[in-house]
Structure 1
Amino acid sequence: MKHFKAFIVCIIAFLFNIGCRKFVELDPPATLLVTENVFQRDETANAALSGLYTSMVEQNMPPFLLALYTGLYGDELNTVYVPNRPVYQNGLRASDAVTNEIWSSGYKFIYQANSIYEGCMASKSLNSMVKKQVMAEAIFIRAFWNFYLVNLYGDIPLVTTTNYSHNETISRSPVSKVYDRIISDLVIAQSSLNENYVGANSISTVNDRVRPNKATATALLARTYLYVGNYTAAAEQATLLIENSDVYSLEPLNQVFLIASREAIWQLAKPTPTGNINTYEGSFFILTGVPQFDLRQSTTVSSQLVNSFDAGDKRKDLWIGTYTDASMTPSKDYYFPYKYKVDNSADVTEYTVVLRLAEQYLIRAEARAQQNDLNGAISDLDKIRERAGIPPIASTNPTISKDNLLIAILKERQRELFAEWGHRLLDLKRTKTLDAVMTDVAPSKGAIWNATKQLWPIPQAEIGNDPNLTQNTGYN
């Protein structure tokens, strides 16, 4: 039995660490081998899914890199790390752009999810509850990464199969079609995922929130509806989570990113053994010295973000850290993202938070405002402001106009969701304010902004491999 399990683990490792010469390239015999062996047993099907989550945390560190690259690309972060200062300085070339890592990782995870989904679908021996949960999680992961790819790259290949002969010549699908697929995948996942958070066997209920459940799909569905302008549906989905107070509630600021946070809707955990790193966000963002010329501990919070906080905002005190270089006269302060407090520690107290309840309040606030329910929008916005220790809109500006309320919500999103999964950059894009903001900010980063920079370049290697794949405007 031990040798069989080791054999399966090796197969899973092979599948989940395939090269990225083509984002969907895999030799057919290997696909058959994985399908025939992994998805005959519950434990190995669960192991395949676990391998997917491991790669999402470890492989090129997507949670950290998404926060880093989008923060550098927008008005949140700066860095002394020369290759990324900023990521579009002197032209973001398709051949060697650092953002290529997000494309490659995203499609690798989508391929893995498709492989798991197809393997479970074909299996006749899996426990029905395991099969249903694993397939639902796989389709959720596909929707999750399609969401980020379509927002960062625009029209993208919509990969829904492991059929290599089809995928190697696939063309780009319009943004609207990709969103339609994301929504349909999330609706399916929402209907099939367990109400509870499940453990390694996909059945037993656990406290950790590291496996997607029904609420996880609901949270991403609320965000997606907001992005496509379906404000009624966005508010409805967010309400399902906000009203589920037995499971979800806003936490004190110091507890939001802890393992046991009731605000967390979905978290990612580094696999054991974890070494001395709880999260890469903590390990790489926290400054313990002067910013250095390395990817790690090289990033500072921009003056635009620091200056966005109102007087008395506890998020500035608790979520932005300061390193003071006393070797200089006068001394110099460096500010850094400090939502995650653990730099290096064998005591695991923090997981990466992917989706959380505060965003759902802000989603519903914006959706309500767009539907002219200003009182409802103000009520939701004030939940976030009150926790932050700043005066509620209801008392300071109760007659605020719809336009000004939407501006206030966008500003609150900037202060609440900074350095988390690219929220700020995507907010500026979807609200059509990115060009105006970055035209002012880019010179401080040593760059000049133009509208073609709204989309990232597709890796040139992918263009060379797929004759039907075209490049975004402004790149070569």
Structure 2
Amino acid sequence: MSTIKYIKKSILMLSAAAAVTAQSCSIDVIPQNRYGEELIWSDPSTAELYVNGLYAEFKSFQFGLFPGLGYDNATDALADIMKYTSSTAGNGTVNILVSNANQFNPASVGLNYWSAGYNRIRRVNEFLDGLYKKSVLNDDQKLKYEAEARFVRGYAYFWLMRIHGSVVLFENLEQYATKDHGRSSEDDCWNFIAADFAFAAEHLDKTHLAGRATKGAAYAMLARTWLYAASSAEYDGGQYNVDPLTGVPADKATEYYGNAAAAAQEVVNLANEGLYALDENFASIFTNRNTKEAIFRVDFAAPQVTHQYDLGFTPPRDAPGQTLVYGVPTAELVDEFQMADGSAFSWSNPAHSADPYANREPRFYATILYNGASWKGRTINTTESDVLEGFIPYGTMGDPKRTVTGYYARKMLDPANTDFVINRSTQSWIELRYAEVLLILAEAKAGVNDISGAVGAINVLREKRGLPPVAAANKTGVMQLVEHERIVELAFEGHRFWDLRRWRKAHEVLNATRFTGHRPVAMGDGFGYEVVQADNFDRSFTPALYYLPIPEIEVQRNNALDQIRGW
């Protein structure tokens, strides 16, 4: 079968537009038939258009989205920091999944990226095959395009590994000549992904258009990859699955943490050259396209390329009767934010409970909208007396479109966008942020027992966030700091559920428990806050969910593909 096929003239005419909208990853070229293959590879602009299309994969996970599962922030709603408000299938599918671990099975899967991921991987391999067999590009151009393509392939494989832990590896197009292919070991898979990102890091430039891979983005993804591999080596130990291909040998943990630290340090080195930096204003990071925190981002431009994040999460009075309020912060997340002096917040502290939203750290005000918060020229009222924007107990309405925890999400909303119903939204999705790299560096250094280096990386972040430095005497102490910082710093950016899984803590944090909210109750001239359940069922997470099943239909199609053992 021909590897690169004829692209219709109408699509080729979009190449000029692609130069403008490439950063939004809006064009995904789909080859139509076999005719004209040589013509395509004789035109360098066509290769550019094809590469632009490959980047569409990053839109599949923008704003914490998971394909086919609810809406933005869906994966954080699988964890303990966000509560989806709906109890109905569709809007509330996340709540159905977390209510019963049996909802995840080979027939329905629950988190299914297999077909979409492998379609993208094949597209990349087709491109690489044509690039070296038929392209008229020079060797330097070929290396750059290969680096970008492998960056995308590594990203698709990273997601498949996050879910399943053992997948089928396709390195070149010749492998597709054979119908049936078996899974590779988890260790081999992580090394394959790391090789893609390492190649990209070696051959990419330091700067590029937004939405296109750079050396820093490749090193950041390489650091993230090695951190996941090291986490499996340290925390799994064969305790949670008997499949012979899952798990990473424990004796590789230190090596892989070292690899993660080295890759993260390369990004720090680029920051020291002026390419990246922590932003002084935390709230503005997510609406400022010039922020140096963004290592890799997906941009949007009205009117053609937009999204609906504001419509999905802004409080109802922003557009009465039209906002959707998919998800809201949990009390567990709210309580994690520290006081301005760096001390822990506690409802048991009379001074804290008397005025719980005063004197909190800056990230709190940039992340959470609470009762009494100022927002778009008004004061948020989440008391039950406000029938439009106030608290409503979870489950009393199928789709309440208002808070079920007493809070609304502030982070990533655009406070200047007042016409999002008509014009939608255009703030960027930041896939890789410099703050995450520092937290990867801290965790990786702890993994190689460099405690001072780990704490130092954390304190670089805390200082920029207006908080005092912290200390830790050992790895356990560092990991407590890392987990806290990842919760508050990366909230609603799609990390928490996957962090709990890679640390093998999800069956402790997400099982046999119900998450909560705070219902404001008028008391004299002020308010008291009553803890209320935001779940009407115990959540369910079993150890089997650390390695989710391959869709049964894929196993049936591939005679060499066996199911993850235990499913």
| TM-score normalised per structure 1 | 0.81
Moved more, 251-260 or 291-300: 291-300
1:22 is aligned to: none
2:430 corresponds to: 353
User: Structure 1 CA distance, aligned partners of 2:302 and 2:65?
Assistant: 19
SS in 2 for 1:262: coil
Distance 2:300 2:333 in 1: 29
Q: Are residue 385 (structure 1) and residue 462 (structure 2) matched?
A: yes
- 1:31-430 matches, cutoff 5 A: 32-33=34-35, 35-54=37-56, 56-57=58-59, 63-65=64-66, 68-79=73-84, 80=86, 81-90=91-100, 91-100=103-112, 102-162=113-173, 165-166=176-177, 168-197=179-208, 208-229=209-230, 230-244=256-270, 245=272, 246-251=274-279, 252-257=281-286, 258-270=288-300, 273-274=303-304, 277=306, 279-288=307-316, 297-311=325-339, 312-322=360-370, 324-325=381-382, 328=385, 331-332=390-391, 334-342=406-414, 344=420, 350-393=427-470, 398=471, 400-420=473-493, 422-430=494-502
Q: CA deviation at 1:263?
A: 0.8
Comparing 60-69 with 373-382, which one deviates more in the overlay? 60-69
Code of the aligned partner of 1:265: I
CA offset digits 1:406-450 (Å, max 9, x no partner): 111122112111222x32222222222222112244684543221
Unmatched segments (≥5 aa) in structure 2:
1-6, 19-26, 231-255, 340-359, 371-379, 392-402, 516-534
Task: Decide whether the 8 Å contact of 1:248 with 1:357 is kept in 2.
Answer: yes
Return closer, same or farther for 1:214/1:321 CA change in 2, 3 Å cut-off: same
Q: Could you give the per-residue CA deviations for residues 321-370 of structure 1, whole angstroms, max 9, x where no partner exists?
A: 35645663694254344332236385976211011111111111112222
Deviation readout 1:73-120 (Å, 9 max, x if unpaired): 2222221133221434342243334522x3333223222222222221
Deviation at 1:296? 5.3
Say whether the 8 Å CA contact 1:226–1:234 is kept in structure 2: yes
The SS at the match of 1:84 is helix
Q: 1:360/1:94 Cα in 2 relative to 1: closer, same or farther (>3 Å)?
A: same
Query: Could you list the per-position Cα deviations for residues 199-231 of structure 1 after superposition, in whole angstroms to 9, with x for gaps in the alignment?
Result: xxxxxxxxx431101111111112222223322
Find the partner of 2:562 among 461, 470, 475: 470
Cα distance, 1:405–1:99 mapped onto 2, change above 3 Å:
same
Which amino acid is the alignment partner of residue 400 of structure 1?
A
Is the contact made by 2:220 and 2:437 (CA closer than 8 Å) also made in structure 1? Answer: yes
Report if the CA contact (8 A) 2:261-2:441 is conserved: yes
- Partners in 2 of 1:176 and 1:292 — Cα distance? 51
Secondary structure at 1:78's aligned position in 2?
A: strand
Q: Which moved more, 1:294-303 or 1:36-45?
A: 294-303
* Aligned equivalents of 1:289, 1:174: Cα separation in 2: 51
Instruction: Verify the 8 A CA contact 2:316 2:323 in the aligned structure 1.
Output: no
Distance 1:106 1:290, change over 3 A: farther
Whether the 8 Å CA contact 1:171–1:468 is kept in 2: the answer is yes
Question: Structure 2: which amino acid aligns with 1:42?
Answer: P
> What is the TM-score normalised by the length of structure 2?
0.69
CA distance in 1 between partners of 2:65 and 2:50 (Å) = 23
Q: Which moved more, 1:306-315 or 1:67-76?
A: 67-76
The one-letter amino acid paired with 1:259 is R
Q: Determine helix, strand or coil for the equivalent of 1:172.
A: coil
Aligned to 1:363, the other structure's residue is in SS state: helix
What per-residue deviation string (whole Å, max 9, x for no partner) do you get for residues 52-84 of structure 1?
223542x68685227634223222222113322
1:176 Cα deviation from its structure 2 partner = 0.7
| Cα distance in 1 for residues equivalent to 2:382 and 2:297 | 34
Q: Is the 8 A contact 2:459 2:469 kept in 1?
A: yes
In the alignment, the residues of structure 2 paired with residue 94 and residue 47 of structure 1 have an alpha-carbon distance, to the nearest angstrom, of 37
Identity in percent: 24
Change (3 A) 1:54 1:224: closer
Counterpart-to-counterpart distance in 1, 2:37 and 2:539? 48
Q: Tell me if structure 2 keeps the 8 A contact 1:16–1:112.
A: no
SS at match of 1:43: helix
SS at match of 1:409: helix
Call closer, same or farther: CA 1:150–1:296 in 2, change over 3 Å. Answer: farther
Which protein shows a greater Rg? 2
Contact 2:301–2:426 (Cα < 8 Å) also in 1 = no
1:177 Cα deviation (Å)?
A: 0.9
State the match for 1:437 in structure 2. Answer: 509
State the SS of the aligned residue for 1:266.
Answer: strand
Mapped partners of 1:324, 1:162: distance in 2? 58
Query: How many pairs are equivalent?
Result: 443
Q: What displacement does 1:286 show?
A: 3.4
2:66 partner SS: helix
Q: Return the alpha-carbon distance in structure 2 between the equivalents of residues 144 and 170 of structure 1.
A: 21
Find the residue that maps to 1:157 and give its secondary structure. coil
1:95 and 1:402 map into 2 onto residues whose CA distance is: 41
Pair 466,406 (structure 1): closer, same or farther in 2 beyond 3 Å: same
Quick check: 1:61–1:280 contact (8 Å CA) kept in 2? Answer: no
- Paired with 1:9 and 1:111, the residues of 2 have a C-alpha distance of 24
Aligned equivalent of 2:539: 447
Amino acid at match of 1:180: N
Q: What is the alpha-carbon root mean square deviation over aligned residues?
A: 3.6
**Measured at CA, do residues 287 and 115 of structure 1 come closer, stay the same or move farther in structure 2, by a change above 3 Å?**
farther
Cα contact 2:462–2:468 (8 A) shared by 1: yes
The separation in 1 between residues aligned to 2:318 and 2:562, in whole angstroms, is 42
CA distance in 1, matches of 2:481, 2:304: 40
Instruction: State the shift of 1:237 in Å.
Output: 1.9
Alpha-carbon displacement from aligned partner over 1:300-321 (angstroms, at most 9, x marks no partner): 2222222221122221210233
| Displacement of 1:128 | 4.0
- Given residue 92 of structure 1, which amino acid in structure 2 is its aligned partner? F
Equivalent residues of 1:69, 1:87 under 8 A apart:
no
More helix by share: 1
Check 1:280–1:138 CA distance in 2 against 1; reply closer, same or farther (3 A cut). Answer: farther
Q: Which residue number corresponds to residue 10 of structure 2?
A: 6
Q: Residues of 2 paired with 1:360 and 1:5: CA distance?
A: 42
SS of aligned partner of 1:341: coil
